[in-house]
Amino acid sequence: MPPPSGLTTRRARSLGTKLALATALVLTVVGILVSVGLSRQERESLILAKTSAGRMVADLVAASLVAPLTFEDLTAVEEEVGFLKSNGDIDAVVVWNAGKQEPLLGWARDGVSPSTVQKAVGEYRSRESLEVDRAVVGPEGAVIGHVALTFSLAPENRRFARIRWIILAVSLGVALGTAALLSATVRYQVVSPLQRLARSARALRLDGVHQPVAVTTDDEIGELSRVFNRMGQAVVERAKYLQNELEIAARIQTSILPRGLDVPGLEICALMRPAAEAGGDYYEVLPTSDGAWLGIGDVTGHGLNAGLTMMMLQGMVSALVKQNENASPAALLANANRALYENVRERLGTDDHVTLTLLRYRRDGRVTCAGAHLPIVVFRAQTRALEEHDVEGVWAAVARDVAELNPEQKLVLEPGDLMVLYTDGIEEALDRNGEMFGTSRFHAALLEVVDQPLSEIVSHVIDSVVRWCRVPQDDITILVARQKEPSLESPHA
């Protein structure tokens, strides 16, 4: 049954009034923001004007130094530079000879510390100063020197401060006047109900406790309160279920990680940083009498299913290695895939798969691998170069029989070489602008510490990724292995 027409009209009129008041308030805020933007533009125009003048002065100084630097007349250079002291806007001047790291000469006013590092031609700005760098080009067209002038931005800052306060004062006056007129009505009609909703939402977010909100109106805010009450109860129940699932998945994920990393011929260190929502990263180290089996992979999805799939994979690989440690990686992968396919596709009824590479390492440095995961990164100690070795195959649990789909590849580690296995949580980590950490940053982070102990390498790489993305959305896993010198191996290994 539809509501009486009078009630509908009152609701519509009430909502219209609220929207009109809210619109007025928003326009006031927009006006303040526009004023702030205009003041910033004003400061930028002042700086641009100073920059333009600085360029002209720097070009003239560079031209005046051509002859003194060409004939290496230090007295003339000093005269040209000293003449600039009469310009009150210039705080410092530094001159370099071409190809020299140390300044030839220069001066600076009290309290000013000019840069003694030669920069590229251009302008470099801080809040208090502007540095204009110019090359001195000789008659033959060759660069014979470099000059850097530091200009004070104090006058521009003082003028901007005056303009900014005027703009802000006008904007705040308008905003405060409007706020005073709207405060009483908006507080009663909109703010108070929303505050009650906010308090209940905050308690739900921080403590996981649902505090029902009193419904006092029949308009859209009242309806929102009713919906929020129902939603809050559902969120609490769902959160309890998810928390139990995540705790189980996290225990699975961490409990099956390899404990022993003592491998003949190889120094190994590995680290996994789980995401807030348990993922499916997998790595394995299974020592053998003459080396080890290594594994790296990532189960699609997150949560309990990913943890179960990873646990099944770990058990299968471990059992197959114990049964025949001299099996080929392709054969072992085919057997593990067959069992994994049946469990994931037929028993669990999911379409998950695993990006997986298995490696058979021999203590003399020979590595044979098969599967489909990210490239294997190798740092060569002799050439100081990074190599990427692609592993071309098929994902595990995609098809029942992959015996012919995973060709084996080989590589050899020389003493001191570093092999790196990792998951996509490194390269695909996103910053707040949606930009990925990427391969180049990953390689750069490796090269920064490639000669350090392995524990420092894995920590540095993961710390670099976390600084980039702040809160990782996926597991981050890295395993690094360094081929030992034969003389450094344990005699009992």
Cβ count within 10 A of residue 85: 11
For 413-455, strand residue ranges (E) read: 418-422
pLDDT surpassing 60 at residue 101: yes
pLDDT surpassing 60 at residue 2: no
CA distance 244 to 279: 15
CB 422 within 8 A of CB 374: yes
DSSP letter at 263 equals B
Mean pLDDT across the stretch 280-297? 92
- Residue 217 domain flag: no
CATH number for the domain spanning 301: value is 3.60.40.10
Question: Measured between alpha carbons, how far apart are the two ends of the chain, in Å?
Answer: 85
- Residue 146 domain flag: no
Per-residue model confidence as pLDDT tens digits over 58-92: 899 989 989 888 888 889 888 888 888 888 889 99
Of 208, 202, 201, the closest CA to residue 229 belongs to: 201
CB 49 within 8 A of CB 125: no
Q: Supply the angle between the helices 5-64 and 154-186 in degrees, to the nearest 10.
A: 180
pLDDT surpassing 50 at residue 192: yes
CB 412 within 8 A of CB 376: no
Tell me what pLDDT residue 215 has: 74
Domain that holds residue 361: 257-488
CA distance 299 to 423: 10
- Residue 49 domain flag: no
DSSP letter at 187 equals I
- Residues facing residue 136 across a β-bridge: 145
What is the chain's length?
Answer: 493
Per-residue model confidence as pLDDT tens digits over 397-453: 899 999 889 999 999 999 999 999 999 999 999 998 999 999 999 999 999 999 999
- Residue 277 domain flag: yes
Structure tokens at 314: 């770990």
CB 454 within 8 A of CB 269: yes
Q: Is 200 exposed, middle or buried (0-12, 13-18, 19+ CB in 10 A)?
A: buried
- Residue 4 domain flag: no
CA distance 444 to 320: 37
**Range of lowest pLDDT (40-49, 191-200, 286-295):** 191-200
Of 42, 477, 28, 129, the closest CA to residue 281 belongs to: 477
> Percent of the chain scored above 90 by pLDDT?
38
> Containing H/E element for 169?
helix 154-186
How far is CA 237 from its chain centroid?
33
Mean pLDDT across the stretch 198-203? 74
CB 352 within 8 A of CB 397: yes
pLDDT surpassing 60 at residue 7: no
- Residue 243 domain flag: no
- Residue 343 domain flag: yes
Confidence of residue 222 (pLDDT cuts 50, 70, 90): confident
- Residue 340 domain flag: yes
- Report the chain's mean pLDDT, rounded to a whole number: 82
Q: Is 493 helix (H, G, I), strand (E, B) or coil?
A: coil
Confidence of residue 6 (pLDDT cuts 50, 70, 90): very low
Confidence of residue 140 (pLDDT cuts 50, 70, 90): confident
For 83-126, strand residue ranges (E) read: 90-97, 105-108, 122-125
pTM of the model: 0.53
- Specify the residue for token string 């089996």: 293
DSSP letter at 99 equals T
Q: Is 427 helix (H, G, I), strand (E, B) or coil?
A: helix
* Total count of domains within the chain: 1
pLDDT surpassing 80 at residue 169: no
Of 14, 493, 468, 440, the closest CA to residue 223 belongs to: 14
